Structure 1
Amino acid sequence: MCQVEEDYHDQLERADLPSVSKKCVKCKEAPAAVVIRAGDAYCRGCFKEYFIHKFRAMLGKNRIIFPGEKVLLAVSGGPSSCSMLSQVQEGLSQSAHKKLRFLPGIVYIDEGGAVGQSVEERRRTASELQALFKATGFPFHILPLEQVLDLPSSVVVTAPSVPEKPSTNYKSAVDHFILTNMSNSLPPAQQEEETPLPDVQEPKTRLLQQLIESAKTLTAKEDLLSTLRQHLLVHTARTQGYSKLMLGDSCTRLAVKLLSSISLGRGAQLAQDTGFSDSRYGDIVSVRPMRDYSAKEIAFYNRMFSVPCVVVPSLDTKTSDKASVQRLTESFVTKLQADFPSTVSTIYRTSEKLQSAGRSSSTADQMFDRCLLCMCTLDTAVGEASAFQSTLISEQLSQIKSGGSTSTETPGQNQSSVKSESTRQCCSSAGVEDCGSTARGGGCCNSAKAPETPDLKRLLCYSCQLTVRDLSSVDHLPQYILSEAQRRQRRSQMREEISEFLLDDGEV
């Protein structure tokens, strides 16, 4: 116990802080050049070996990418994705100790139109990245984000997944790959002809800006932009014949994403959003091999070994800490990490233990159990005594109008309900026998009317509902999303009409 009148005459012991003047903790000979964590001081050579080993060990431990597979690297120009590109290039070199055996390609999504960059700035950034990609010798694709407006509806439909190969076959696959002498050949080099820069169309850019500006908050804008980017990446991988999509999310980025996703109501999707592999799209599996690296490790490696990066502004560039939920979470984690160095690793280790609870459903209904935007399993089909239903009841009570009616729809949903009500009145007033008289081809008179604005509420998870609710109008969404929403609604209505003739899974 410390006493009030106690004197402290003995000299206090001073903590031995890590210093770069120490010897390397691995080789015990060379002086330390970098201190990653307290007590982890590495020399230049050991740090490079440690960095490379961690990347290849992550891929080898999971055994998801088999030899000969085509893998699309999503490179944004930032430190983490450029470091990932450098590791893949190093692993495919002839001098590599444990060579990587897949066939890589590169894709870069130009988001300058959504951020507000001029055409000259976008072309300058694309030229820098084009020179960087050409130096690797890998095939690459530079795509403007405006192409997301022309995607087909199949992007938001889960494709049939490729049967997973047992992990026991991985060793035999490697042996077969080596015996066929494919391990000694480099991936196909980039074609000699000059790859033209993407042509940016001004009308498409205006439509994209209208879509982003329709979101009222920066939080919704960032979430919407992330969803559109993921859709374009998956579509590019499918059309170019890639089976894996490699993302450059670091440990620090995933820790921020985990906390911000919880704040945005994406707790049910955390295992897919932060895990090593993500198979929500079926045929395209996303992997995150950089998830064991902190932002500090990546910055040291890029600085010490001259890994080129290209600075690309984003939506939250030069914004305040409280501009969005994502920006506030990032500021909180980075400031806490400065005082408590184990903050990021603790959050990251928590995300490793998360698993998605699978729901039993028939094969025909799996596509309707997926969110229309993020393609995750819907988390809104819960019991009456759940927190989600309590939130809906509170929302209904808070929006009671003076006439006693309630309104819980967004502006776009209100228009949809008004149109459907007018349609029902039209059919009822003319009588059932006269239904379809206005449409010469027969059928209901709804077919002669203009297409309705779809009701997206039932097709979205809770977090995506919050994002769409912040939009001024759902009509600004890309056409492939609206078309798929209408198709799902028609299928749902048809299923309700013939529900009494269908058999349950237990009755088959």
Structure 2
Amino acid sequence: MNCKKCDSSHTVLLRKKDYYCDDCFMVNTNHKFRACIGKNKILIPNENVLIGISGGVGSTVLLDLVNHAVTLENTKKLRIVPFFVHLLDEERKDSAQAVIKQCNKYNINVYIIHLAEYMDLKFDIPEANCIPETEENKVKLFHDMLNSMPITAATDFLLKVKRNLLVEFAKKVKCRIVFTGETTSTLAINLLTNLATGRGSQVQDDIGFCDVRDKEIKILRPIKDISKEELDYYVAIKQLSPFHEKDVISNSLQSVIASFVSDLQKDFQATISTVCKTADKIGNQERMNDERNMQEKCVICKSNLHTRDLNISALEATNISRKVSLGNAQFRQYLDNNPDISSLESDATPSVFPLINKYLCYGCSRNQSEMNQTKLPPYIEEVLKL
């Protein structure tokens, strides 16, 4: 079979039916990247853009796409001033070394930020291309906090930590826009995980092209239309060297969903694209609802609390079931006197998560409730009045 674009011999086969040569495949991939940015019309020419890179396949391809786009000498040049940052786990310094090595190939600088800086957010801009030192006590507190949660909750919480650190660093280097390297596969897994962990109302910001939870900083996902299959071909053609590390921890809900989606995709090639298109439809409706109801923000994930939309919700059903099963006599009496469930008020039926709706969203309140008496960062505890 020949390339569907130029009729030369094919070297790439996508979705078991689309044939491309190397040149046409690279043109098509670059077009997807540029089109995803261009059609949303968010970027301002020559503005600062922070780009988060983990060293994995997605961020490695994003790094190469951005470098190619900003070094063009024609009208298709991407007119941004990129800043690169890597979020480092103290126990995985090899990832930071791999990222520094990647960036050295392009002669660009990268800043390394410890995840433990989340404990106070008072870090300074570090020296480029080196791994900064951080306080051992801060690192210990951070890992104690994560280790105090079940694996699923810790994995979910870590995503919120990374987002908050990216937003905070973007403010320090005066960037209004942040690029991250999520792909269609990653976002499909995140969508199903969100629904399973009670974050369905946050789909648009967690899975859509643009995360607008922060008033000043927008997080964009410019390679969200590029599949893992295309990434693998891109890495092979350009001979890139990604740092291969598992995106999710084993034995967590996230790892189970990732395996489920991956296995389903092998037999049904439209699985991931269908999930992502569904996410766009769900997200658009949620965004419309948020625009009509500007509400308070969750202290941890910064999502809207949706306090005005809780009548006869899944949360209230969970609260009622939990209290009835625990044999709460006072609550049983209340139900006997008020058989109409729609009459239940939040003050009469207090949540099983005491901080929910006032300070935390459902997902974050569950994570906080599952911690084993380990302290959250002081600036969060101060707001929560713990």
Alignment root-mean-square deviation, CA: 2.5
**What displacement does 1:382 show?**
3.1
Determine if the alignment matches structure 1 residue 345 to structure 2 residue 293. Answer: no
Alignment partner of 1:201 out of 112, 131, 135: 135
Length-normalised TM-score, structure 2:
0.87
Report the 3-state secondary structure (helix = DSSP H, G, I; strand = E; otherwise coil) of the residue aligned with 1:459.
coil
Work out whether residues 54 and 99 of structure 2, in 8 Å CA contact, stay in contact via their aligned partners in 1: no
Give 1:201 deviation, angstroms: 3.0
Deviates more, 1:296-305 or 1:461-470: 461-470
Q: Which amino acid aligns with 2:237?
A: M
Q: CA deviation at 1:135?
A: 3.1
Q: Deviations over 1:263-296 (max 9, x none)?
A: 1111111111111111111100000001000111
Q: Does the 8 A contact of 2:55 with 2:95 survive in 1?
A: no
Separation of aligned partners in 1, 2:208 and 2:5: 30
Looking at structure 2, the residues matched to 32 and 66 of structure 1 have their Cα atoms a distance apart, in angstroms, of 38
Give the counterpart of 1:394 among 314, 318, 321.
321
Q: Deviations over 1:436-485 (max 9, x none)?
A: xxxxxxxxxxxxxxxxxxx4663111122222222112x52111211233
* Distance (Å, rounded) in 2 between the aligned partners of 1:393 and 1:99: 57
Residues 402, 349 of structure 1: alpha-carbon distance in 2 compared, 3 angstrom cutoff: closer
Counting only pairs closer than 5 Å after superposition, residues 470-481 of structure 1 correspond to structure 2 as 470-473=370-373, 475-481=374-380
Question: How many Å separate the matches in 1 of 2:119 and 2:34?
Answer: 37
1:447-466 superposed matches below 5 A:
455=355, 458-466=358-366
2:4 pairs with 1:25: yes
The one of 66, 78, 88 equivalent to 2:56 is 78
Shift of 1:313: 5.2
Which SS does the other structure have where 2:39 is aligned?
Answer: helix
Identity %, equivalent residues: 30
Q: 2:178 corresponds to which residue?
A: 245
Q: Taking structure 1 as reference, are residues 399 and 195 closer, same or farther at Cα in structure 2, changes over 3 Å only?
A: same
Q: Is the 8 A contact 1:456 1:485 kept in 2?
A: no
Residue deviations 1:320-354, cap 9 Å, x none? Answer: xxx22211111111100000111111111112223
Mapped partners of 1:401, 1:349: distance in 2: 43
Gaps of at least 5 residues in structure 2 are 333-348
2:233 aligned counterpart, secondary structure: helix
Match for residue 483 of structure 1?
382
Aligned to 2:28: 50
Q: Could you tell me whether the CA contact under 8 Å between 2:110 and 2:129 is conserved in 1?
A: no
Residues in 1 aligned to 2:196 and 2:352: alpha-carbon distance in whole angstroms: 22
Q: 2:58·2:181 contact (CA, 8 Å) conserved in 1?
A: yes
Would you say the 8 A contact 2:59–2:180 is kept in 1? yes
Shift of 1:126: 2.2
Whether 1:307 and 2:240 are equivalent positions in the alignment is yes
Residue 387 of structure 1 deviates from its aligned partner by 3.0
One-letter code aligned to 2:144: Q
Q: Tell me the residue number matched to 2:113.
A: 143
Consecutive unaligned residues of structure 1, counting only runs of 5 or more, are 1-21, 153-192, 414-454, 490-508
Q: Mark the CA change 1:125 to 1:211 in structure 2 (over 3 Å): closer, same or farther.
A: same
Gap change, CA 1:233 and 1:339, over 3 Å in 2: same
- Structure 1 position 105 matched with structure 2 position 83: yes
From 348, 358, 367, the equivalent of 2:290 is: 358
Structure 1 pair 252/314, CA: closer, same or farther in 2 (3 Å)? closer
Structure 1 or 2, whichever has the larger Rg, is: 1
1:325 — aligned with what?
253
1:127 equivalenced with 2:97 (yes/no): yes
